[in-house]
Amino acid sequence: MKVMIVDDNAADRRLLRVNLEHHTCEVVEAADGRQALILAQWYQPDLIISDALMPDMDGFQFLRAVKRNATLMHIPFIFYSAVYTGHKEEALAKSLGAEAFIVKPKDPVAFWEEVVGIVDACRAREGRTVVQGLVQEEEDFLRMYSHVVARKLEEKVAELSTACAELQKREADATMLSLQWQSTFDAVKEAVWICDEGATILQCNRATSDLLGMPKDDIIGKTCFTLLHGAPISINECPMERVKASGKRESAHFVLNGKHIDVTVDPITSLNGGTRRFVHTASDISERVRAGEERKKLEAQLAQSQKMEAVGQLAGGIAHDFNNILSVIVGYAELAKLKLGEDSPAGKFIDNLMDGADRATGLIRSLLTFSKTQMMDMAPVDINQIVGRVRMFLERIIGEDIRLVTEIAGQELLVMADGGQIQQVLINLAINARDAMPDGGTLVIRTEQVMLDTETVTQYGGCDAGAYAFISVTDTGVGMDEAVKGKIFEPFFTTKESGKGSGLGLPMVYGIIKQHNGFINVYSEPDEGTEFRIYLPLVNETVACSSPSSLPYPPNGTETILIAEDNDALRDVADELFTSFGYKVISARDGEDALKKFIAHADAVDLCFLDMIMPGKGGKETFEEISRLQPDMKFLFASGYTADTIFRKGIADIHSNFIVKPFAPKLLLRKVREILDGTDKMHSDIRPHHGE
Ligand code: ADP
Ligand code: MG
C-alpha cells in the first residue's frame, strides 16, 4: 500500500513512517498541504494521512482540494492530529470527506489496526463513495472552517498567555532573588567583591564602595590591582594569584590609605567547569592593630611604673634610715642650744645647723612623696605660705624662658592639709605648664578666698558650701583639646613622648586634692593656654601653722618614759632630751627588751614611746602585749614610714598618738606632755585593734 504522510513536524512524520513501513507500506512524505497536493497527483497514493494544523495550506484546505480534484478524490483521507479540542474539527473533517479523525499520539499497533479497518471499509464501498464535502456549499464550508480556525486561535492565545504569565512570574522571582542577594551582599560589613581570572571586578558590595571611597559603578569592570594598589599588573603579594595555584583560601595584609586591611580570597567552584571566579573579603583591622599598639604602650608604661615603684621603695628605705640620722642631729642640736643658753655666741651656729637639718627634712619628704610611702601629715597650713615657700623651687624648675608671677591673697588661707603634698601639687602643675610652653611664656599662680554656694559645690562633686581657698595655676602654653582634657586625670594618660611623660602627674594631683576634700577643675583651649583651679575648704582654727621652733617649750616633767628604739643614736638623743626635761627614762633596744623592762618596772612607767618598726617585736606587738598587762598605759608611736604601715599595724588614731620622724624635739616634748596630762583628747581611744 502506498501511503502519503503530510505533517509539518519531521519527527512525527518519521514515527509514522517507521510504523507504516513496518507493515510493508510504501511511504511518501510532505511537509504541508500545498506540497502534498502536487506530490499526490504524481504519486497517486492509496491513502493520505494528514496533520490538521500546518503552515501555508492546512489539513482542511488540503482535504478540500483533494476532494475537488478528480484524480485524487477517491483516495481515503485520514486526519492524524494532536490539536483536537472537540467534535467540531471531526465534524468539519468528515463533512469535507475525511474517513476518520485519529487523535495523536496513538499506540502504533492500535493505529495500524484502525488504519487497516478504514482502508478495508473504503474498499468495500468502492464506487459508491459519496463525497459529502463536494456537495457542501462554499458558504457553509467557510463558516465552519473559520469557526474551527478561530477556536484553534483562541486555544493558542490561551496557551500563549499562560506561558507569558509563567514567564512574568519567573522574571519577578528572578528580580526578587537578585534583590535579596544584593541586599544580603550589601549587609555584609566586610568589603566583598568577585573577580574573574584576570582580576577584573564583576560584583562588589556596599562596604567595598566605602572602603575604596568610590561608587560601585566606578569599581565594577576595573581590575583589583589598579584600584587597590594602583599597579599595572597583579602585585607579588596578590592572594588571588596564590589561590590560582593552591586552589584553596589565601590571605594577605595590606595598608591602604592608612588603614590596615586583611584580604582573604576564596575560589568559587563553577558548576559547568567554565571560567573561574574569586571572592575577595577585606576587613578593616585598623582598630585591632591600634588596640595592639595601645596594649604594647600600656605594657611599656606598666614596666616603667614598676621600675618607678622599685626606685620608690629604694628611696623609701633610704629615707627611713636618713630620718633616724636627722632626728639625732636635730635632737642634739636642740639640746646643745638649750645647754648653751640664749645668749651664747655658738647659738647662731646651732641655728644654722638646724636650718640645714630642716632642708634635709624637706628633701626626705619629697623622697617619700615620690615613693608614695609618706605620711599624710595633716595640720592647719596657710596656702599663701606654701606658695611662698615653693616659689623659688618652681622658678628653678620652669627655667629662664618662663616668667613666674604669683598673686597672693591679702588674707591668710588656712586649710587642713599636708603641706608637703600641696607643694607636690604645685610642683606637678608647674612642670606640666613648663612642658606646655617650650618657647617660653608666663605661669601665674594666684590665691584667693572664695565662697562656694551649694549649687557650685554640688556641681564640683562636693557637698559643703562655704569658704574655700582658691588656687589658680595658669599658663600661656599650647592648651588642650576636648579629647585630651577628658583624659588628663587618668593614670598613664600622657601626650608626651615615651621617657618624657609618665602620665602620673595629674592623677597624683587629683588624688591629693580629693584627700583634702577639695576640687580641681581645668579650663583650656588649644593654643589658648591652660588654667587649673583648685579649691580647698578653709578651716576656722586659729592654730598657728608656724614651725614648731616658734612654739614655747612645754613645762618639765617628772614621769617615767619607757623608750623602745633600735637605733642607738636615736635612742640616746631621746633619752638625753627627756632627761634634760626632768623625765626619768628607761631605754630598751627593741620590743622584746621593752617588754622585759616594762615587766620589771611596771609600776614606775607612765608612758611608752615606741618606734613602729623594730627588728623582732615591732611597735604594734609591743603595744599589744603591754596594753594587755596594763590596759590604761599611755603610748606614743614614732615612724618615718608610711601611714599605710601604721594602719596595717592596727592602731586607729595616728594623728594624736603618732609623731612623724624626723621629729622636732620641741614637738616631741609637747606631744608627751599632752598625752601625760590627758589634754590629748584622742589618746585614750587607742586600743589594740585585733583582726586588722
Ligand atoms: P605627663 O606630664 O607625664 O604627661 P600628666 O598626668 O602630668 O602626665 O599630664 C597628662 C597630660 O595632660 C599631659 O601629657 C598633657 O597632654 C596634658 N597636660 C597637662 N597639663 C597641661 C598643660 N598645662 N597644658 C597643656 N597640656 C597639659
Ligand atoms: Mg606631668
Q: Is the CB of 520 under 6 A from ligand 1?
A: no
Across-strand partners of 200?
223
Q: Is the pLDDT of residue 417 over 60?
A: yes
pLDDT at position 346 is: 86
Q: Summarize the confidence of residues 314-329 as an average pLDDT.
A: 79
Range from 119-133, 322-336, 583-597, 656-670 carrying the lowest mean pLDDT:
119-133
pLDDT at position 154 is: 78
Q: Summarize the confidence of residues 556-576 as an average pLDDT.
A: 91
Spatial distance between the Cα atoms of 260 and 257, rounded to a whole number of angstroms: 9
Residue 429 CA to ligand 2 center (angstroms) comes to 7
Q: Summarize the confidence of residues 563-569 as an average pLDDT.
A: 90
Q: How far is CA 141 from CA 90, 96, 134, in A?
A: 13, 8, 10
Reported as a pLDDT band with limits 50, 70 and 90, residue 202 is very high
Read off the pLDDT of residues 501-553 as tens digits, 9 standing for 90 and up: 777 778 778 877 877 888 899 999 999 999 999 999 998 754 444 444 456 78
Residue 287 CA to ligand 2 center (angstroms) comes to 28
User: In ligand 1, which atom is closest to the CA atom of 508?
Assistant: 6
Site to substitute for ligand 1 among 494, 497, 510, most atoms within 8 A of C-beta: 494
Q: What angle do CA 293, 298, 303 make, to 5 degrees?
A: 125
Spatial distance between the Cα atoms of 665 and 583, rounded to a whole number of angstroms: 14
Read off the pLDDT of residues 602-636 as tens digits, 9 standing for 90 and up: 889 999 999 888 888 888 889 889 989 998 899 88
For residue 475, the ligand closest to its alpha carbon is: 1
pLDDT at position 323 is: 80
Q: How far is CA 379 from CA 77, 91, 517, 544, 576, in A?
A: 134, 129, 14, 10, 28
Ramachandran class of 9: left when φ > 0, alpha when ψ lies in -120 to 50, beta otherwise: beta
Q: Is the CB of 267 under 6 A from ligand 1?
A: no
Q: Which helix (H) or strand (E) holds 403?
A: strand 402-407
Spatial distance between the Cα atoms of 308 and 370, rounded to a whole number of angstroms: 9
Spatial distance between the Cα atoms of 387 and 392, rounded to a whole number of angstroms: 9
Range from 39-53, 119-133, 260-274 carrying the lowest mean pLDDT:
119-133
Which class for 260: exposed (0-12), middle (13-18), buried (19 or more C-beta within 10 A)? middle
Q: Is the CB of 493 under 6 A from ligand 1?
A: yes
Ramachandran class of 104: left when φ > 0, alpha when ψ lies in -120 to 50, beta otherwise: beta
Across-strand partners of 637?
610, 658
Which class for 583: exposed (0-12), middle (13-18), buried (19 or more C-beta within 10 A)? buried
Strands 191-196, 277-284: pairing kind: antiparallel
User: In ligand 1, which atom is closest to the CA atom of 484?
Assistant: 16
Q: Summarize the confidence of residues 180-200 as an average pLDDT.
A: 91
pLDDT at position 245 is: 87
Q: Is the CB of 484 under 6 A from ligand 1?
A: yes
Spatial distance between the Cα atoms of 234 and 163, rounded to a whole number of angstroms: 48
User: In ligand 1, which atom is closest to the CA atom of 495?
Assistant: 14
Helix (H), strand (E), coil (C) string for 432-466: HHHHHCCCCEEEEEEEEEEEECHHHHHHCCCCCCE
pLDDT at position 279 is: 93
Q: Is the pLDDT of residue 133 over 80?
A: no
**Which residue's C-alpha comes closest to atom 14 of ligand 1?**
494
Residue 409 CA to ligand 2 center (angstroms) comes to 26
For residue 496, the ligand closest to its alpha carbon is: 1
| Three-state DSSP state, 279 | strand
Structural contact between residues 413 and 447, judged by C-beta atoms closer than 8 angstroms: yes
User: What percent of the chain is modeled with pLDDT above 90?
Assistant: 36
Read off the pLDDT of residues 331-364 as tens digits, 9 standing for 90 and up: 888 888 888 887 888 888 888 888 888 878 766 7
Residue 312 CA to ligand 1 center (angstroms) comes to 22
For residue 488, the ligand closest to its alpha carbon is: 1
Read off the pLDDT of residues 292-301 as tens digits, 9 standing for 90 and up: 887 787 777 6
List alpha helices for 371-416, DSSP H.
Answer: 383-398
Q: Which three cell numbers stand for residue 140?
A: 457553509
Which sign does the torsion angle of CA 483, 488, 493, 498 carry? positive
Structural contact between residues 659 and 667, judged by C-beta atoms closer than 8 angstroms: yes
Q: Is the CB of 503 under 6 A from ligand 1?
A: yes
Q: Is the CB of 502 under 6 A from ligand 1?
A: yes
pLDDT at position 24 is: 92
Which of 124-138, 301-315, 479-493, 565-579 has the largest mean confidence?
565-579
Q: Is the pLDDT of residue 404 over 80?
A: yes
Rounded to 5 degrees, φ, ψ at 231 are -100, 150
Q: Is the pLDDT of residue 4 over 50?
A: yes
Q: How many CA atoms lie within 13 A of 590 on its CB side?
A: 7
Amino acid symbol at 95 = S
In sequence order, what are the residues at sequence separation of 6 or more whose Cβ sits closer than 8 angstroms to the Cβ of residue 668? 574, 577, 659
Q: Summarize the confidence of residues 365-393 as an average pLDDT.
A: 74
Q: How far is CA 312 from CA 240, 309, 367, in A?
A: 57, 5, 8
Q: Is the pLDDT of residue 157 over 80?
A: yes
Q: Is the CB of 660 under 6 A from ligand 1?
A: no
User: In ligand 1, which atom is closest to the CA atom of 500?
Assistant: 3
Residue 442 CA to ligand 2 center (angstroms) comes to 17
Site to substitute for ligand 1 among 437, 506, 508, 522, most atoms within 8 A of C-beta: 506
Residue 433 CA to ligand 1 center (angstroms) comes to 8
Read off the pLDDT of residues 644-685 as tens digits, 9 standing for 90 and up: 444 444 444 444 577 777 777 888 898 899 888 876 543 333
pLDDT at position 319 is: 75
Residue 368 CA to ligand 2 center (angstroms) comes to 18
User: What percent of the chain is modeled with pLDDT above 70?
Assistant: 86
Among the listed residues 256, 249, 251, the one whose alpha carbon sits nearest the alpha carbon of residue 238:
251
Q: How far is CA 449 from CA 380, 413, 537, in A?
A: 16, 7, 10
Q: Which three cell numbers stand for residue 157?
A: 492565545
Q: How many CA atoms lie within 13 A of 489 on its CB side?
A: 13
Reported as a pLDDT band with limits 50, 70 and 90, residue 371 is low
At which residue does the C-alpha cell 605660705 appear?
385
B/e letters for 40-64, b = 16+ CB within 10 Å, e = fewer, are beeeebbbbbbbbbbeebbbbbbbb
What's the chain's average pLDDT?
Answer: 83
Q: pTM for this one?
A: 0.38
Residue 463 CA to ligand 2 center (angstroms) comes to 29
Reported as a pLDDT band with limits 50, 70 and 90, residue 313 is low
Q: Is the CB of 478 under 6 A from ligand 1?
A: yes
Structural contact between residues 541 and 525, judged by C-beta atoms closer than 8 angstroms: no
- Inter-helix orientation angle 286-340/665-677, to 10°: 80
In the DSSP assignment, the letter for residue 501 is: B
Residue 424 CA to ligand 2 center (angstroms) comes to 11
Read off the pLDDT of residues 463-506 as tens digits, 9 standing for 90 and up: 788 999 999 999 999 999 999 998 888 767 889 887 677 777 78
For residue 522, the ligand closest to its alpha carbon is: 1
User: In ligand 1, which atom is closest to the CA atom of 504?
Assistant: 6
Spatial distance between the Cα atoms of 405 and 407, rounded to a whole number of angstroms: 7
Across-strand partners of 407?
446
Q: Is the CB of 433 under 6 A from ligand 1?
A: yes
Q: Is the CB of 436 under 6 A from ligand 1?
A: yes
Site to substitute for ligand 1 among 432, 445, 497, most atoms within 8 A of C-beta: 432
Q: Summarize the confidence of residues 390-414 as an average pLDDT.
A: 89
Torsion of CA 317, 319, 321, 327, to 10 degrees: -160
**Which residue's C-alpha comes closest to atom 25 of ligand 1?**
479
Among the listed residues 126, 118, 112, the one whose alpha carbon sits nearest the alpha carbon of residue 99:
118
Strands 414-417, 466-475: pairing kind: unpaired
| Three-state DSSP state, 597 | helix
Q: Is the CB of 530 under 6 A from ligand 1?
A: yes
Spatial distance between the Cα atoms of 173 and 547, rounded to a whole number of angstroms: 94
Q: Is the pLDDT of residue 101 over 60?
A: yes
Residue 540 CA to ligand 1 center (angstroms) comes to 34
Range from 315-319, 368-372, 472-476 carrying the lowest mean pLDDT:
368-372
Spatial distance between the Cα atoms of 39 and 156, rounded to a whole number of angstroms: 30
Q: Which three cell numbers stand for residue 248?
A: 584553596
At which residue does the C-alpha cell 572602603 appear?
211
- The full length of the chain comes to 692
For residue 527, the ligand closest to its alpha carbon is: 1
| Three-state DSSP state, 407 | strand
